[in-house]
Amino acid sequence: MTSELRSARYGAVLTFVLAGLMVGTMTVRIPALTDKLGLTEATVGTILLVWGLGALVTMQSMRRVMARVGSRAVLRAGGPLTALGLIGVAFAPNLPLLLVAVAFFGMAFGMVDVAMNAQGSAVEQAYGRPLMNGMHAGWCVGAISAGALGSLAIAAGLPFTANVALVGLVSLPVMALLGRTYLPESPASATDTGGRRRMPPIVYLLGAIMFFAFMVEGTVADWNGLYLRDELGAPEAVAALGYPVFEVGMLVARLTGDRLRARFGVRGMLTVSGLATAGFFSTVLLAPAALVAVAAMFFVGLGVATISPLTLSLAGTATDAPGPAIAQAGAMGYAGLLLGPVVIGYLSHATSLHTALGIAVVLGLLIAGASRLLPGHEPSQVTPLPVREPAEAAA
């Protein structure tokens, strides 16, 4: 193993950590943002929608860009731009400028999300063994850190602008420095036409599985607290525990997911993950008390955590260059992240929140069923590490 390859792995993991930290910092301080600008809940929903649509539009356009320039170039530009976008969100003085900053932040993050997964796939293939779950664990570390730092900032009386700007200002130079660690594209990727041609069918199947999984994640993130409080009568402090407990479950699963994949393969893991998601979310819905539901959220996190890393990793092996296929699967997945909470909202209005959340059980079963359509044997993970010229290595 070369020091270059080791640095590329650490650089990819740190990119996931910083991405989770920056996105998590904005979401954790949303209550402070509403106080700063006097926003209503509907306006907050619009802000989050603008951010998500910005990310989704960029992801969908990344196929051609990734095929042309590769993940290293996109990350070198997108990483610092994401930090600048977060700084813009911090200093936005009114709603119109905030919407502009949030759209910019979302679009820059869309670049980073696709490219860091493509870079992770390149590192994984160069290592010749599964690594993607461990990289996505970095996102969980960043998101959990954002929550912890946000709580400390609140306790210290640090306002929204100072907290968010500080994270952005620290992330900006770190993202720039990480640009030196990323792997270049393999020579075969330089002529790949993945940005213009139709993807292999397996990419769309993986995108559908990721769509279902992200619908579950979005449902948990946006609705579990309200369910615990309004349906199970939990105090606000207990209701707030649902999502952090879910994230801890995801972190544990992702830290062990690569070893499990090496033993059981992607199809077996995805099938079990779908069934576990359905089973444990059923436990949440059948729980007689809030604390039982909170405990079950840990196991829902365990179930759903490895689905997106596994699908993105396998998508990265479907074409000569990982970037375009990952961009396609990722865009489909994030559509689910945006659509899931909206569907739950309409269904809960028509029926009840308890009934609407049953869709997560159905999604888990769909994941398990769709996973059986995947091939039984994975492509080889081994790809020769490109050799840099001395001048390029110093760049």
Q: What CATH number is attached to the domain comprising 254?
A: 1.20.1250.20
Confidence of residue 379 (pLDDT cuts 50, 70, 90): low
| CA distances from residue 192 to 68, 117, 187, 313, 324 in whole angstroms, order as listed | 8, 18, 10, 18, 9
Which comes out higher in pLDDT, residue 2 or 187?
Answer: 2
Indicate the pLDDT class of residue 395, thresholds 50, 70 and 90: very low
Which residues are within 8 A (CB) of 30 and not within 5 positions of it... i.e. 6 or more apart? 44
Residue 390 lies in a domain: no
Is there a domain that residue 262 lies in?
A: yes
Whole-angstrom distance, CA of residue 24 vs CA of residue 169: 15
Q: What are phi and psi of 232, to 5 degrees?
A: -105, 0
Question: Which residues touch 4 (CB under 8 Å, ≥6 apart)?
Answer: 183, 385, 388, 393
Q: Is the dihedral of CA 48, 255, 76, 165 positive or negative?
A: positive
Residue 122 contacts residue 181 (beta carbons within 8 Å): no
Closest CA to 301 of 207, 238, 216: 216
Determine the pLDDT at residue 128.
Answer: 84
What pLDDT does 176 receive?
95
Residue 394 pLDDT level (bands cut at 50, 70, 90): very low
Model confidence band, residue 175 (pLDDT cutoffs 50, 70, 90): very high
DSSP 174: H
Centroid of chain to Cα 199: 22
Torsion of the alpha carbons at 205, 206, 208 and 212, rounded to the nearest 10: 140
Q: What residues contact 159, with CB distance under 8 A and at least 6 apart? A: 32, 36
Residue at 388 is within a domain: no
Closest C-alpha among 211, 131, 146, 160 to residue 47: 160
Tell me how many domains the chain contains: 1
The DSSP secondary structure of 125-153, one letter per residue, reads: HHHTS--HHHHHHHHHHHHHHHHHHHHHH
Coil, helix or strand for 318? coil
pLDDT grade, residue 109 (50/70/90)? very high
Q: Report the distance separating Cα 330 and Cα 116, nearest Å.
A: 11
391 part of a folded domain: no
Which residue type does 386 have? P
Asked, for residue 179, whether it belongs to a domain, the answer is yes
In a domain, 383, yes or no: no
283 lies in some domain: yes
Alpha helix locations (H) across the chain? Answer: 3-28, 30-37, 41-91, 95-127, 132-155, 160-178, 201-226, 236-239, 242-286, 290-304, 307-315, 322-350, 353-356, 359-371, 390-393
Q: Give CA–CA dist 319/316, Å, rounded.
A: 7
**Joined tokens for residue 91:** 């200093």
Residue 187: which domain range? 3-371
Q: Which residue has the tokens 């949303």?
A: 30
Q: Which two tokens stand for residue 234?
A: 């939990």
Phi, psi of 319 (to 5 degrees): -130, 170
Tokens describing residue 275 = 């069934």
Residue entry with tokens 């610092």: 80
Most confident of 15-24, 147-156, 382-391: 15-24
pTM of the model: 0.79
**Predicted confidence (pLDDT) at residue 185 exceeds the cutoff of 80:** no
**190: DSSP letter:** G
Q: What are 116-142's pLDDT values in tens digits?
A: 988 988 898 888 888 888 899 998 899
Alpha carbons 131 and 257: distance in angstroms, whole number = 9
User: Which of 124-128, 131-135, 258-262, 357-361 is the most confident on average?
Assistant: 357-361
Domain annotation covers residue 299 = yes
- Where b means 16+ CB within 10 Å and e means fewer, 55-79 reads bbebbbbbbebbbbbbbbbbbbebb
Window from 27-41, 103-117, 136-150 with minimum mean pLDDT: 27-41
pLDDT band at 234 (very low <50, low <70, confident <90, very high): confident
Residues 138 and 10: beta-carbon distance below 8 Å = no
Three-state SS for 38? coil
Q: Is 169 helix (H, G, I), strand (E, B) or coil?
A: helix
pLDDT band at 392 (very low <50, low <70, confident <90, very high): very low
Q: What is residue 1's predicted lDDT score, i.e. its pLDDT? A: 57
